[in-house]
Structure 1
Amino acid sequence: MMLLLLDIDGVMVPANSWRRPEILADGFVEFSPQAVKALNKILQHHDFEIVLSTSHKFKYSLNQWLAIFNARNINLSSINRLPDNISLSNRKNEILNWFTSHHGNEDFIILDDDKSLNDLPPHLKDRLVQTSGSVGLTDYLADKVLTLAEKSHGELA
Structure 2
Amino acid sequence: MNTILILDLDGVLITTPPWKSDEIHVDGYSDFNQTCVSNLNSLLDYKPFDIWLSSTRRTNKSLAEFNQIFQNRDIKGMIRGFVPEYNSTKNRKEEIIEFITEFKLTDYLILDDDKSLNSLNPKLKSKLVLTELTIGFNSKKLKEAIEKLK
Long gaps (5+) in structure 1: 151-157
Matches within 5 A, 1:43-62: 43-62=44-63
- Could you tell me the TM-score, scaled by structure 2's length? 0.91
Q: Distance in 2 between matches of 1:88 and 1:123?
A: 20
Q: Which residue of 2 aligns with 1:129?
A: 129
Q: Which residue of 1 aligns with 2:100?
A: 99
Task: Provide, for residues 40-90 of structure 1, a one-character-per-residue CA deviation record: whole Å limited to 9, x for no partner.
Answer: 110111111111010011211111111100101113245321012445621
Contact 1:51 1:80 in 2 (8 A): yes
- Could you tell me the TM-score, scaled by structure 1's length? 0.87
Q: Distance in 2 between matches of 1:77 and 1:53?
A: 14
Worse-matched range after superposition: 21-30 or 90-99: 21-30
Instruction: Report deviation, 1:97.
Output: 1.1
Q: Which residue of 2 aligns with 1:155?
A: none
Q: Which residue of 1 aligns with 2:71?
A: 70
Q: Which residue of 2 aligns with 1:29?
A: 30
Q: Distance in 1 between matches of 2:12 and 2:78?
A: 21
C-alpha spacing 1:18/1:58, structure 2 compared with 1 (3 Å): closer
Q: Give SS of 1:109's match.
A: strand
Query: What percent identity do the matched residue pairs reach?
Result: 35
Q: Which residue of 2 aligns with 1:108?
A: 108
Q: Distance in 1 between matches of 2:47 and 2:62?
A: 25
For the aligned residue pairs, the C-alpha RMSD in angstroms reads: 1.6
Structure 1 ranges of 4+ moved more than 3 A: 85-88
Number of equivalent positions: 149
Task: Provide, for residues 108-151 of structure 1, a one-character-per-residue CA deviation record: whole Å limited to 9, x for no partner.
Answer: 0000000100111111011000001121110111121112112x
